[in-house]
């Protein structure tokens, strides 16, 4: 269909003639003023490019329009949003609110031009938000066969898991509380893929074509996602709805945004290089994402950003950096797991962890991070916030720098660093600051803690141990990981080794 919904200007004409039945409406010039409080008993807002208010129907003579009456309370709110959706497109208009949308009725006049065909319907959704978080919502439909200026009622109800609307912190919402149906507690079940609101979830047994797609930078665009005809970009793979995206070797110059649960697998060490100012990978919206065997770099941006409550990134056998800013930024309630990976060459700093969602870094090497001029950065790791079980374990952190603080790990809250090497990091402070260290080789720093010592770990340039290293067999076996950076089994001697490598 080629029809379009008219641009929504949100302008109210102050000189429109209002019929007797709407006499209580306030006349508001949108460009110059807002109402003193968010809810007047009826607030008249006009959509459309006409100079008069289509609520009145005359003299507008709208070909198709209706009066939307929003009922109910939202509590404290700052924005009212209306979505109009046909089978082919969606148009959205948002209006600022001040204060509270109280119990009662708020009226909006809406004109759709050109009108939808007589045999179609128009979906109308209303959301009331505060700081971007949905407080209340409602929805209904209207048939295009209705007369212009028909009244349409939408009852607001509180937003939450199970209401059939997929919010940013939810991976899915199928509108029920049934477990193991593809969407449980508003997160996608393992082996399923979900899309839409309310979410429709499919497993491979019912929709195998959505299970796995393939991507190759050498493939002609756009591709079909099959092994024989891969998609040409990772973004197309993510947007396909597949549960797994297998990315073949090559350079992908794009910014990959993931807001649904998915697994991204590298086949042959693919590299993602972000456009200038963007992140190579951004994960949010409550998605649960696993990435295996892919490298991410950025110019004038963070290589990876993980954000939003409920979001979790699991990064395995991957590389973060180089980057002109942070290697990875964790924020706003998201959580992170990094294992068997490298973070290297991030100019501002390696990992900036600023989320109560928490993190775990295991069997990884962090080197060559920090040192950006101006003193605004950090070194290998900066912990701003963390959950109580956050930790750095079995990792090697060496040759990082920081102009103003610890070049290794800087903890604003106490976080456990265990079975790790923190060595040869430069800064105005020591290599480790504010953290709790146990069974660590801490370089020239003498920090109390069980199993800590300070001896040259005798590392290779890439962080592997060499024969004669004092870190061999000295890790705490009760807190050792089962494999090392290279996937080799621990221990291989009398006990597990300290650091990312098991000699």
pLDDT digits (tens, 9 = 90+) for 464-487: 999 999 999 999 999 999 999 999
CA-derived radius of gyration, the chain: 28
**Record: fold of 20-158:** Immunoglobulin-like (2.60.40)
Q: Count CA within 13 A, CB hemisphere, residue 287.
A: 26
Helix-strand-coil split of the chain, %, nearest 5: 5, 40, 60
Residue 208 three-state SS: helix
Assigned token pair, 198 = 């309310």
Domain definitions of the chain by residue range: 20-158, 164-208, 246-442
Q: Closest Cα partner for 91 from 140, 66, 125, 64?
A: 125
Which span out of 154-168, 438-452, 457-471 was modeled with the highest average pLDDT?
A: 457-471
Question: Which of the residue ranges 165-179, 355-369, 378-392 would you say has the lowest mean pLDDT?
Answer: 165-179
Confidence of residue 48 (pLDDT cuts 50, 70, 90): very low
When the pLDDT of each residue in the chain is averaged and rounded to a whole number, the result is 79
Rounded-to-integer distance, Cα 141 and Cα 156, Å = 14
Question: Taking residues 238-262, what's their average pLDDT?
Answer: 95
Report angle CA 107, 52, 23 to the nearest 5 degrees: 45
Of all residues in the chain, the percent with pLDDT exceeding 90 is: 50
Confidence of residue 45 (pLDDT cuts 50, 70, 90): very low
Bridge partners of 251, per DSSP, are: 271
Report whether pLDDT(50) > 90.
no
Note the pLDDT of residue 33. 27
Better-scored residue on pLDDT, 378 or 98: 378
Q: Closest Cα partner for 377 from 417, 413, 350, 344?
A: 350
Question: Which of the residue ranges 129-143, 223-237, 275-289, 370-384 would you say has the lowest mean pLDDT?
Answer: 129-143
Question: Which of the residue ranges 1-5, 109-113, 194-198 would you say has the lowest mean pLDDT?
Answer: 1-5
Note the pLDDT of residue 152. 76
Residue 489 three-state SS: strand
Question: Taking residues 350-364, what's their average pLDDT?
Answer: 96
pLDDT digits (tens, 9 = 90+) for 156-210: 877 778 877 776 567 788 888 888 788 888 887 766 777 666 777 776 554 444 5
Note the pLDDT of residue 360. 97
Report whether pLDDT(211) > 50.
yes
Rounded-to-integer distance, Cα 418 and Cα 299, Å = 33
Long-range contacts, stretch 293-296, CB < 8 angstroms, 24+ apart: 293/265, 293/266, 293/267, 293/269, 293/317, 293/318, 294/247, 294/264, 294/266, 294/269, 294/270, 294/318, 294/319, 295/266, 295/269, 295/270, 295/271, 295/319, 295/320, 296/271, 296/272, 296/320, 296/321
Rounded-to-integer distance, Cα 396 and Cα 262, Å = 29
Report whether pLDDT(145) > 90.
no
Better-scored residue on pLDDT, 270 or 144: 270
């Amino acid at each position: 269909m080629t029809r379009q919904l008219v641009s929504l200007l949100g302008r109210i004409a102050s000189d429109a003639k209002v019929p007797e039945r709407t006499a209580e409406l306030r006349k508001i010039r949108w460009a110059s003023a807002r109402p003193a409080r968010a809810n007047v008993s009826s607030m008249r807002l006009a959509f459309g490019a006409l100079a008069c208010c289509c609520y009145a129907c005359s003299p507008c003579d709208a070909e198709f329009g209706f009066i939307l009456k929003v009922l109910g309370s939202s509590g404290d709110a700052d924005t009212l949003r209306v979505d109009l959706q046909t089978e082919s497109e969606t148009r959205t208009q948002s209006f600022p609110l001040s204060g509270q949308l109280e119990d009662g009725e708020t009226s909006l006049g809406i004109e759709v031009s050109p009108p939808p065909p007589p045999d179609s319907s128009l979906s109308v959704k209303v959301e009331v938000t505060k700081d971007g978080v949905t407080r209340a919502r409602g929805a209904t439909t209207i048939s295009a066969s209705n007369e212009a200026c028909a009244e349409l009622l939408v009852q607001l109800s509180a937003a939450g898991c199970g209401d059939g609307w997929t919010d940013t912190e939810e991976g899915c919402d199928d509108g029920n509380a049934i477990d193991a149906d593809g969407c449980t507690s508003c997160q996608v079940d393992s082996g399923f893929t979900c899309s839409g609101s309310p979410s429709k979830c499919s497993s491979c047994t019912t929709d195998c074509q959505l299970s796995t797609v393939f991507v190759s930078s050498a493939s002609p665009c756009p591709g079909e996602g099959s092994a024989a005809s891969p998609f040409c970009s990772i973004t197309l793979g993510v947007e396909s709805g597949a549960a797994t995206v297998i990315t073949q070797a090559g350079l992908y110059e794009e910014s990959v945004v993931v807001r649904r649960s998915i697994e991204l697998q590298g086949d042959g060490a693919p590299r993602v290089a972000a456009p200038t100012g963007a992140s190579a990978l951004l994960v949010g919206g409550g998605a649960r994402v696993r990435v295996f065997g892919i490298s991410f770099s950025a110019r004038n941006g963070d290589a990876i950003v993980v954000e939003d409550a409920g979001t979790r990134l699991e990064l395995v056998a991957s590389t973060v950096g180089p980057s002109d800013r942070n290697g990875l930024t964790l924020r706003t309630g998201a959580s992170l797991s990094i294992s068997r990976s490298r973070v290297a060459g991030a100019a501002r700093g390696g990992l900036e962890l600023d989320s109560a969602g928490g993190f775990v870094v295991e069997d990884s090497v962090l080197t060559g991070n920090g040192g950006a001029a101006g003193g605004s950065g950090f070194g290998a790791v900066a912990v701003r916030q963390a959950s109580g079980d956050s930790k750095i374990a079995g990792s090697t952190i060496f040759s990082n720098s920081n102009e103003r603080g610890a070049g290794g790990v800087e903890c604003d809250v106490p976080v456990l660093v265990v079975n790790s090497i923190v060595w040869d990091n430069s800064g105005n402070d020591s290599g480790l600051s504010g953290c709790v260290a146990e069974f660590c080789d801490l370089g020239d720093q003498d920090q109390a803690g069980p199993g800590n010592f300070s001896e040259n770990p005798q590392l290779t340039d890439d962080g592997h141990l060499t024969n004669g290293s004092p870190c061999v067999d000295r890790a705490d076996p009760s807190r050792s990981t089962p494999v090392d950076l290279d996937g080799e089994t621990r221990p291989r001697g009398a006990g597990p080794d300290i650091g990312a490598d098991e000699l």
